């Protein structure tokens, strides 16, 4: 069997309609990237009925992916263990992790133990949260605040815009003078950007970006923002709970000690290096 040269797109499924919407979005992502789609379901092996139910969840998801995107290379996986732990492990070797927003469907609230919340805050690769049954359309928006994670987000958004052949908006919420400086600085750090539009938003950043997301096809941001490493930012939290379009949370990790190049600090965020999930 030939192993894809690019890391796979991994989609987590749980048998819900939101999970199948995530599968359809993940299938399009895998085709656009020219890579494998892995459909992943985590469960406990305690009972035979649970195994049969879990197998049906994966089979339905694989069939949905194949029907929505003919010619797709897709594999199903059942993994024993808690969903959050299984997803985090898969994210180490994935190019993208895709999840449905079913945890938010009823109340817009997420328990601290939600697999969705844990994936968005702890995954090693970018996490795409799917919303709604239809494919995203409209501009790709990069939300930037001048932090290192937001520079990673801009790079990811630029790649998405090129791949989707869509225009790119680069958005910052703040006052005019400071906001223009932030946009100038971030744009200078990412060369060879596709055609873009600068967007300076007014009002509280979280509310302003949620409003902007309602007319976007995709919004991309770094989940930790300028509040410090290890924290899930308030803007990311608001977009996760109330965003109006699919949202990508872009993660970076620090290079191991001794791996940095001369003249480069190991405290800077780097894009995650990944390998194929399936061998």
Q: Mutual orientation of helices 115-122 and 83-91 as an angle, nearest 10°?
A: 30
Same domain, 112 and 213: no
State how many domains the chain has.
Answer: 2
Same domain, 13 and 123: yes
Same domain, 244 and 158: yes
Of the listed ranges 61-70, 137-146, 223-232, the least confidently predicted one is 223-232
* Under 8 Å between Cβ of 277 and 12: no
pLDDT of residue 273: 27
Q: Which of 127, 144, 189, 194 has its CA nearest to residue 164?
A: 194
Same domain, 31 and 124: yes
pLDDT of residue 123: 92
Question: Above 60 in pLDDT, residue 64?
Answer: yes
- What is the three-class DSSP state of 131? coil
Among residues 105, 130, 155, the one where a domain terminates is: 130
Domain of 116 in residue numbering reads as 9-130
**Separation between Cα atoms, residue 230 and residue 225, nearest integer Å:** 10
Residue 219: inside a domain, yes or no?
Answer: yes
Among residues 75, 100, 130, the one where a domain terminates is: 130
Q: Which of 184, 247, 174 has its CA nearest to residue 210?
A: 247
Q: Which two tokens stand for residue 86?
A: 């299984």
| 208-249 tens-digit pLDDT | 999 999 999 999 998 765 544 445 778 998 999 899 999 999
E strands, the chain, are 9-12, 37-43, 74-80, 96-100, 127-130, 140-143, 168-173, 196-201, 218-221, 247-249, 252-254, 269-271
Place of tokens 């791949």: 163
Residue 151: inside a domain, yes or no?
Answer: yes
Same domain, 113 and 183: no
Higher pLDDT, 262 or 239: 239
Residue 195: inside a domain, yes or no?
Answer: yes
| 79-107 tens-digit pLDDT | 989 999 999 999 999 999 999 987 555 55
Neighbours of 59 (CB within 10 A): 13
For residue 107, the surrounding DSSP H or E stretch is: none
Same domain, 168 and 83: no
Round the CA-based radius of gyration of the chain to a whole number and report it.
Answer: 18
* Under 8 Å between Cβ of 98 and 12: yes
Identify the sign of the CA torsion 39, 51, 106, 205.
Answer: negative
Same domain, 15 and 122: yes
| 153-176 tens-digit pLDDT | 999 999 999 998 899 999 999 888
pLDDT of residue 233: 79
Same domain, 125 and 191: no
**Overall average pLDDT of the 259-277 stretch:** 32
Same domain, 110 and 29: yes
CATH code (residue 178):
3.40.50.620
Same domain, 78 and 157: no
Same domain, 122 and 28: yes
What's the pTM value of the predicted model, to 2 decimals? 0.84
Same domain, 148 and 247: yes
Q: Which of 227, 221, 215 has its CA nearest to residue 247?
A: 221
């Amino acid at each position: 069997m030939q192993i894809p040269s690019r890391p796979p797109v991994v989609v987590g499924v749980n048998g819900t309609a939101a999970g199948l919407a995530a599968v359809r979005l993940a299938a399009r992502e895998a085709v656009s990237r020219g890579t494998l789609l892995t459909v992943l379901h985590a469960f406990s092996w305690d009972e035979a009925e649970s195994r049969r139910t879990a197998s049906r969840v994966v089979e339905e998801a694989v069939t949905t992916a194949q029907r929505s995107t003919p010619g797709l290379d897709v594999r199903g996986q059942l993994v024993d263990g808690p969903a959050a732990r299984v997803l985090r492990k898969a994210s180490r070797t994935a190019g993208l992790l895709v999840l449905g927003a079913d945890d938010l469907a009823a109340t817009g609230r997420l328990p601290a133990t939600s697999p969705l919340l844990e994936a968005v805050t702890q995954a090693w690769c970018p996490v795409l949260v799917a919303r709604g049954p239809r494919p995203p359309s409209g501009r790709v928006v990069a939300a930037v605040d001048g932090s290192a994670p937001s520079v990673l987000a801009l790079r990811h958004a630029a790649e998405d815009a090129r791949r989707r052949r869509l225009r790119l908006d680069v958005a910052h919420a703040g006052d005019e003078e400071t906001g223009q400086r932030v946009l100038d600085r971030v744009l200078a750090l990412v060369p060879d950007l596709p055609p873009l539009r600068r967007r300076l938003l007014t009002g509280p950043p979280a509310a302003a970006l949620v409003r902007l997301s309602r007319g976007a096809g995709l919004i991309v941001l770094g989940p930790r923002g300028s509040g410090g490493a290890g924290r899930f930012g308030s803007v990311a939290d608001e977009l996760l709970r109330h965003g109006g379009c699919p949202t990508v949370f872009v993660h970076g990790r620090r290079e191991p000690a001794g791996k940095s190049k001369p003249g480069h600090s190991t405290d800077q965020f780097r894009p995650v290096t990944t390998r194929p999930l399936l061998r």
